[in-house]
Structure 1
Amino acid sequence: MSTMEGQCTWAGRSELEQLYHDTEWGAPVHEDDKLFEMLILEGMQAGLSWTIVIKRREAMREAFDGFDVATLAQYTPEKEAVLLQNPNIIRHRLKVAALRKNAVAFQRVQAEFGSFDAYIWQFTEGKTIIGHWQSQAEVPASIPLAETISKDLKKRGFTFVGPTIIYSFLQAIGIVNDHIVTCPVYKRLVANTEANT
């Protein structure tokens, strides 16, 4: 596994995490289907490590109908019971039940705002918050913005959207760039941000 000099330390834990770090984490996401997938995956991470989630991501994508919002919104208790028998996913009863709840809430946001993208990026007026962390140890567990969005999502019927989960979500979808400053991906994303402003 090749690692980049000066990169975020967590990226070197596995090849899957390296690839995710290099190609996805912190890059701005505006497609609703991808935003929904990341919201589900971050919720699945609650109480676990990202390593576990990323290892099971493909199995969950297959089991959860490609994270298709309309399909998940129609899930039944019977479907959830079947999923809980699948050893390849994260088998947590409340997290599996959250698939339908969050899909329904996601659809409501889409109906109100035109897209989930319009809703989530309004909190920063479409801009990325750029961190200036020298090391992984400096990155906080949450920020006030994540607490604000968490409260709003809970009011809208979402579950597994606490401040820590939402902060991870914001980092994942590029609303926050929390790569450390020595990371080559940080520099690339900052350059892209500046080019688009």
Structure 2
Amino acid sequence: MTIEKFESIYQRAAERKGGEAQLEQLLHKPLSPQEIATIPDDRWLAAFTEKVFQCGISWNVVRKKWPEFEDVFFQFRIQPLLLQPDEAWEKKAQDPRIIRHLTKVMTVPANAMMINIASLKYGSFGKMVANWPSDDITGLWGYLKKNGKRLGGNTGAYALRQMGVDTFILSSDVESHLRNCGIIDSGRDTKRAQQAANKAFSQWKSESGRSLSEISQIIAYSCGDNRIL
């Protein structure tokens, strides 16, 4: 298997988007590790919760209700949430101000506990993420899946991207490209597929000097339905 050169992917994306200048304007760059390390624990929990609730429904529905989510869940402050008794969560799941879904509501205390444990060990959840090796970003996905709740698949990766973490995402366009190139040939969420994708992205990062986030976006713009009119 020969991995396509990144320059070829970039030029195809630029052609589809009307030129290099237009393509560059579309790219969102990640935060630095130093910036990631300063993000408070409550914002990580908020991001994870938002992505969990957005699964299976319109993202805009959740966004419109988000101020109420912040109120119901104490601005996602970890310690007050961990002190809540079990019956309080059932009550919150019935609150009309949020989307009433008990299973998703129960991810809040579970993911608060994950964040708290990491914070006690590393100083903050942000510090743990900031120091995670960039060449093993799928290892961080695995950590979220194993230690959190409902953070598998693309949910954890999308939350990380939202927070400014340098990660690629196996969106439908990116996954299709990797399959067409023979880089992955098993289920998207398998360890084998993720490690193969991680290896390819590390190679493209070395070739281009770009972040994983930028490379992921450029691949998506180079294929699929993301054409400029």
Q: Do Structure 1 and Structure 2 share a fold, with TM-score over 0.5?
A: yes
Q: Which residue of 2 aligns with 1:162?
A: 152
Residue in structure 2 matching 1:114, options 123, 134, 147: 123
Gaps of 5+ in 1: 9-20, 130-143, 182-197
Gaps of 5+ in 2: 1-21, 167-212, 219-229
Change (3 A) 1:87 1:58: same
Residue in structure 2 matching 1:31, options 39, 47, 50: 39
* In structure 2, C-alpha distance between the alignment counterparts of 1:43 and 1:56, rounded to whole Å: 14
Change (3 A) 1:26 1:86: farther
**Larger of the two Rg values belongs to structure:** 2
CA deviation after TM superposition for structure 1 residue 112, in Å: 1.0
Q: Which residue of 2 aligns with 1:174?
A: 164
Work out whether residues 74 and 100 of structure 1, in 8 Å CA contact, stay in contact via their aligned partners in 2: no
Change (3 A) 1:94 1:123: same
Work out whether residues 65 and 98 of structure 2, in 8 Å CA contact, stay in contact via their aligned partners in 1: yes
Residue in structure 2 matching 1:81, options 86, 90, 96: 90
RMSD: 2.8
Q: Which residue of 1 aligns with 2:142?
A: 151
Q: Which residue of 1 aligns with 2:111?
A: 102
CA deviation after TM superposition for structure 1 residue 163, in Å: 3.0
Identity %: 22
CA deviation after TM superposition for structure 1 residue 26, in Å: 5.7
Change (3 A) 1:100 1:122: same
1:86 match: secondary structure: coil
What TM-score, normalized by structure 2, do the two folds share? 0.54
1:93-149 C-alpha deviation (Å, 9 max, x unpaired):
111111111111111010111110111122246xxx9xxxxxxxxxxxxxx83x422
1:65-98 C-alpha deviation (Å, 9 max, x unpaired):
1111111112222111211221121211111111
1:38-79 C-alpha deviation (Å, 9 max, x unpaired):
122122222223212211110100011111111111222211
